[in-house]
Amino acid sequence: MNFTRWSARLPGTQRRAAARTEQTASPDRRGEGSVPAARVEQLTDESPSVPAVDELRVREVLDRAPSLVALVHGPDHRIAYVNDAYTTAFGVRPLGECAREALPELDALGLFPLLDQVQRSGKPRTVKSRKAPDGRSYTFTCTPVAQGDGKGGSDGRGVLVFATDVTDHAEAAERLRASERRQRETAVTLQRSLLPQELEEPDDLRIAATYHPGGTEAAVGGDWYDVITLGGGRTALVIGDVMGRGVRAAAVMGQLRTAVRAYARLDLPPHEVLQLLDGLAAEIDANQIATCAYAIHDPNEGKLIYSSAGHLPILVRDENGTVLRAEEPTGPPLGTGGWMHTSGSIPLAPGSTAVLYTDGLVERRDADLDEGIAALERALAGATGTPQVVCDRLVRSAGVTPDHDDDVAVLVLQHPARTGAAGELFRNAALELLGGVEAAPRARAFASGVLTSWRFPADLHDLGVLATSELVANSLQHGTPPMRLRLRRTDRRLIIEVTDGDDHLPRRRRAEPGDESGRGIAIVATIASNWGCRRTPGGGKAVWCEFALPRTQTT
């Protein structure tokens, strides 16, 4: 094969040849103002100077190139040329042979379809970082070349294969990817370890939750959820999202989740919990903010009391399939400071389902956020079954896949409508405490009758009546009207609660022998499984205690 005939059309060769011709045809001008061309003569025994590139033939240039070069021609890609670097890498290759048999390394790399495409289209193509049989990685550029006479035709087209060794770059990139994978695995492990391993199970709610980390191309974020039983039949529900990615976001999330649980034990209204959390978030990291929604469910009120710090609205589906969206009040995200959060409410009657979620479930780059929320509302309207079934259905309807570009956290809760035998296990009874000192014996008689009708054993009956007497007496002595006694039973506990109009919270203290007061709360704390107190919306307080039911009473 005449390589000169093929090399005449290689990029740059015609331009350099024309330059040399022009220089030869021009006489050497030695006139006034002219500078003769510099000439270098060898005056010593040293090696002659390396010739300039323009003084070399194309083949000599390619032979000296450190990159791998091969030239094939014709429809069956017969070998016209391979340079020294190619021979060093893959061995001697016979000229004139079909490349499919003589260049097996190209076949192993899957380059022959690319050679066909380049020969047909006449356009160069490049494939990056492919590992060859010799274990090294190369980037291949395939460029079309034609005969020197410019006639083209199927026999007149060839392909110049130019391979650059990128092994070091490929290995560095793989080390970087491996490091990123390890960091992501660490962040995912940390994130999952900081989320609840098992959700608390309130008496009056059925709850399920799920967390999906972002895909391999997305660093793990700081999404979290939590369920906190507050006592007295009340439950706190939390959903949050720390802005940012990676281990740092997961660590901040863990601190905020721990703080929420601590503040929840104070049994404060939702907006006060977020107010405390806002200050803490600024102390943890002033440059990192988070959104959060905190809600409290009280089965006696039939609604969710909530507050939101820049988080997406809670959705509630009633028993008829109508979906409500919790709107205002919504404050700015946590960590911004200078904002007074407020609480709102949304109905959660028996038979209702509520959904708390993070933006990964509804936010898409190519759609408005409201469209995502509206789509979630439509999916929730038709979602029935257990909370876990609803949770899985919402995630599927949102198109969340393993390679999703953001974290997703979803918390689903249901307030079941209980009837029949199940309804008998969940009962309420209330009495307005009117009058003076006669309210105490009336409250004891009321409690005794209710507990008898609920068929509690004698010892639990007596303890319940005693606790009622002490709580009512405490309210009559230290509280103000209006006063109310409420008894509630679930499938697991008896709850006794007394409310009044005074917002001074009682505390347990040790009564000295001569003290005439201070023993009531101590007695209640001793005989009950748990007790507590909280301020009520609009002023006043509630003091409650609860007794765990014997196992025979829960069936």
**DSSP-derived secondary structure for 4-71:** HHHHTTSTTHHHHHHHHHHHHHS----STT--PPP-----SSSPPPPPPGGGS-HHHHHHH-SSEEEE
pLDDT of residue 15: 44
Q: At 413, give phi and psi (nearest 5°).
A: -130, 145
Tens of pLDDT, residue by residue over 259-283, are 999 999 999 999 999 999 998 988 8
pLDDT of residue 35: 39
Please state the rounded mean pLDDT for residues 137-143: 91
User: What percentage of the chain has pLDDT greater than the value 90?
Assistant: 45
Confidence label for 131 from pLDDT (cuts 50, 70 and 90): confident
Confidence label for 325 from pLDDT (cuts 50, 70 and 90): very high
Q: How many helices (H) does the chain have, and how many strands (E)?
A: 16, 21
**DSSP code of residue 202:** -
Tens of pLDDT, residue by residue over 457-483, are 999 999 999 999 999 999 998 899 999
* Amino acid type, 330: T
In this structure, of 176-180, 251-255, 533-537, the range with the lowest mean pLDDT score is 176-180
Tens of pLDDT, residue by residue over 182-213, are 766 776 777 677 788 889 999 999 999 998 88
CA–CA separation, 313 vs 326, rounded Å? 5
Q: DSSP 3-state assignment of 231?
A: strand
pLDDT of residue 36: 43
**Largest Cα–Cα distance in the chain?**
133
Confidence label for 13 from pLDDT (cuts 50, 70 and 90): very low
Residue 360's CB: how many other CB atoms inside 10 A?
24
pLDDT of residue 128: 86
Structural contact between residues 225 and 209, judged by C-beta atoms closer than 8 angstroms: yes
Q: What does pLDDT average to over the chain?
A: 83
Please state the rounded mean pLDDT for residues 427-451: 92
Tens of pLDDT, residue by residue over 143-180, are 998 755 444 444 568 899 989 888 888 888 888 877 77
Structural contact between residues 36 and 28, judged by C-beta atoms closer than 8 angstroms: yes
pLDDT of residue 217: 52
Q: At 398, give phi and psi (nearest 5°).
A: -80, -5
Before 329, cis peptide (omega within 30)?
yes
Please state the rounded mean pLDDT for residues 537-547: 92
Confidence label for 552 from pLDDT (cuts 50, 70 and 90): low
Q: Higher pLDDT residue, 90 or 44?
A: 90
Exposure string for 508-531, b = 16+ CB within 10 A, e = fewer: eeeeeeeeeeeebbebbeebbeeb
Structural contact between residues 503 and 540, judged by C-beta atoms closer than 8 angstroms: yes
Please state the rounded mean pLDDT for residues 242-266: 86
Q: Higher pLDDT residue, 115 or 135?
A: 115
The reply to whether the predicted model has a pTM over 0.75 is no
pLDDT of residue 376: 96
Q: DSSP 3-state assignment of 527?
A: helix
Residue with tokens 């090399």, as numbered in its chain: 7
Nearest by Cα to 142 from 129, 116, 160 = 160
CA–CA separation, 275 vs 285, rounded Å? 16
Tens of pLDDT, residue by residue over 362-417, are 988 888 899 999 999 999 999 999 999 999 999 999 988 877 778 899 999 999 98
User: What percentage of the chain has pLDDT greater than the value 70?
Assistant: 83
